[in-house]
Amino acid sequence: MKFYLVDAFNDEVFKGNPAAVYVLTKWPSATTMQKIALEHHLSETAFTVKNGDHYDLRWFTPEQEIDLCGHASLATAYVLFNYYEPDATELHFQTQKGPLAATRQGDQYGLDFPSLMPEPIENEPTFAAAMGAKPTAAYLARDLFLVYDDAETVRHMQPDLAKVKALQNGLGVIVTAPDTTFDFVSRAFYPKLQVDEDPVTGSAHSNLIPYWAQRLHKRQLHAQQASARVGVLDCEWHDDRVTMSGRAVLFATGENTLDV
């Protein structure tokens, strides 16, 4: 089984978010895909199979299958556009979250994702204790979504990951704040999925884009995910959908010994 290792949402290797991508002719078992993801031990491994005029797409963390992942979708689009569909400018995917689309304009790859505005919740003291800084507001969708006033607080945050993992709210924790260079910055932590910090999280931007678009009264946004690897995203809010665009770069290709 051939795989590709792609760094997504940056144009330099060792930056952005790495994902493993498998383009297959048929599905392995879910158990096999989970074991492959654990073996790679990246935040996500993507598996895709062509199905008529679209590709079915699934994502696995080292811990479990998840229903939405942006950077591994962008990595998959990069692989398909460059190695399987060189004449295409648009690709369509079917996922657990429904249909998604990817576009290519030069070296920029765009993703069409659902807009998922998080709902406000009580700002519990456990959030500040886990993150090391008290948020000004708390929200919840799939992930806990914490808002801060200062981008430097987000950039320099050192959460207590054991406490983050113990939080009852959400699969992961997204922290975000306004910025002066970018419209907003964010970071994302998923210790429940064996991913202490996800370098660049496209699924988080399904929450971040509608939140900041409404707060800043603008539909086009420039964002930075301020992890150590750094990711940069151009974003746009379309009410019930969002688009996020970025670059990607191939780090390596390889082949495992499995035969499905």
Mean pLDDT of 67-77: 96
Domain boundaries, the chain: 2-103+246-255, 119-239
Work out the average pLDDT over 125-139: 98
pLDDT band for position 260 (cuts 50, 70, 90): confident
Residues 49-69, mean pLDDT to the nearest whole number: 96
CATH number of 2-103+246-255: 3.10.310.10
Residue-level pLDDT at 242 = 97
Q: Which tens digits make up the pLDDT trace of 218-250?
A: 999 999 999 999 999 999 999 999 999 999 999
- CATH for 119-239, among 3.20.20.70, 3.10.310.10, 3.40.50.300, 3.20.20.450? 3.10.310.10
- Confidence band for 259, pLDDT divided at 50, 70 and 90: confident
Instruction: Give CA separation, 1 vs 27, 45, 73, 74, 234, in Å.
Output: 12, 13, 19, 20, 33
Q: Is 90 exceeded by the pLDDT of residue 111? A: yes
Which one from 12, 39, 44, 197 is the annotated catalytic residue?
44
Whether residue 90 lies in the annotated active site = no
Q: Flag whether pLDDT at 115 surpasses 80.
A: yes
